[in-house]
Chain A
Amino acid sequence: MAAPKPRIKLPKTASAGEVIVIKTLISHDMESGQRKDKDGNVIPRRIINAFSCEFNGQPVFSCDIAPAVSSNPYFEFSAKVNESGTFKFTWVDDDGSVYSAEQPIEVK
């Protein structure tokens, strides 16, 4: 599997107190642990099991994920911004790897 690549979509600017919509996606197979290869052996589970979003170090949204979430897990949620700052996104893989991405926003 190629290295997971996060993609984030959120507005560049917002007015103070505005509720913005954030869309995130990370490329990942999300191998469910239910599938079998052609010899009948179970393909071991490997999924992203947790996702979280922080703004200037404060938690905004997080999610516990089971194998029933589709490959290339996509999340859309909202956040209230009162000041300029940086959103930080974190994905945790079953194998212990952590993937992260950051995106700034300017409040006018």
Chain B
Amino acid sequence: MELTRRQALAVTAGGALAAFGGFRVLPAAAANEATDKLVMEFTGGKTPEAGRITLTAPEIAENGNTVPISVEVDSEMTDADRVEAVMIVAEGNPNPDVATFHFTAMSGAAAATTRIRLAKTQNVAAIARMADGSVYVDRKEVKVTIGGCGG
């Protein structure tokens, strides 16, 4: 049988997809374990709940080398109700930890913006630890066109 150009393309595309799909299963699971461990260390073993924290990230990042992200936690930043720290994790990076922001009563507001590197399309999470020990999380999926960890 002689393959037409169209069939040949379809076959290679299918093969590439299958190979890619198979490849992703294990590393992704391992990465999530590393992320979970990191988050548990930060929260002191507590599972964070949704709410109070907002993570802003682009839906599609053309360049994984500089992805702007912002976090904001709904808090008065008084001594009683205060955000101690916010941790950013990128589940699909070779090392999931990105940055940890520490706030004080002099911060006025628990908000910060920075630019991060993302190796591939993945979930980015922001976890806030309050002064009373409660923890909150927000997640966003960022689609990355060109990865940012260099080859």
Question: Known contacts A69-B98, A69-B117, A70-B65; can you find 10 more A-B pairs with CB under 8 A?
Answer: A32-B117, A35-B149, A59-B106, A60-B107, A61-B103, A61-B107, A68-B97, A69-B116, A76-B70, A79-B108
How far apart are A93's CB and chain B's nearest CB, in angstroms?
A: 16
> Which of chain A's residues have a CB closer than 8 A to the CB of B150?
32, 34-36
> Which of chain B's residues have a CB closer than 8 A to the CB of A20?
108
How far apart are B35's CB and chain A's nearest CB, in angstroms?
A: 12
Q: Is B12 an interface residue (CB 8 A)?
A: no
> Are A34 and B149 in touch, CB under 8 angstroms?
yes
> Which of chain B's residues have a CB closer than 8 A to the CB of A62?
101-102
8 Å CB interface, A49-69 against B: 55, 58-69
> Are B98 and A63 in touch, CB under 8 angstroms?
no
Q: Is B32 an interface residue (CB 8 A)?
A: no
> Which of B20-28, B46-54, B88-96, B129-137 faces chain A?
B88-96
8 Å CB interface, B76-125 against A: 77, 90, 93-95, 97-109, 111-118
- Known contacts A74-B114, A77-B112; is A58 also within 8 Å of B98 by CB? no
A-B contact count (CB 8 A): 101
CA distance A69 to B97 in the complex (A): 10
CA distance A32 to B65 in the complex (A): 11
Q: Is A101 an interface residue (CB 8 A)?
A: no
14 residue pairs bridging A and B, Cβ less than 8 Å apart: A19-B109, A32-B150, A58-B104, A61-B107, A62-B101, A62-B102, A68-B90, A68-B99, A68-B116, A70-B117, A71-B66, A77-B107, A78-B108, A79-B106
Q: Size of chain A's interface in residues, with CB distance under 8 A?
A: 29
> Which of chain A's residues have a CB closer than 8 A to the CB of B103?
61
> Are B117 and A80 in touch, CB under 8 angstroms?
no
How far apart are A66's CB and chain B's nearest CB, in angstroms?
A: 4
Binary per-residue interface labels of chain A (67-96) against chain B in the complex, 1 for a CB within 8 Å, 0 otherwise:
111110111111110000000000000000
- Known contacts A32-B117, A77-B112; is A59 also within 8 Å of B104 by CB? yes
> Which of chain A's residues have a CB closer than 8 A to the CB of B66?
70-71
> Which of chain B's residues have a CB closer than 8 A to the CB of A77?
101, 107, 111-113
> Are A19 and B117 in touch, CB under 8 angstroms?
no
> Which of chain A's residues have a CB closer than 8 A to the CB of B45?
none
Q: Which 6 A-B pairs have the closest CB atoms?
A: A80-B108, A19-B108, A35-B150, A76-B113, A70-B115, A68-B98
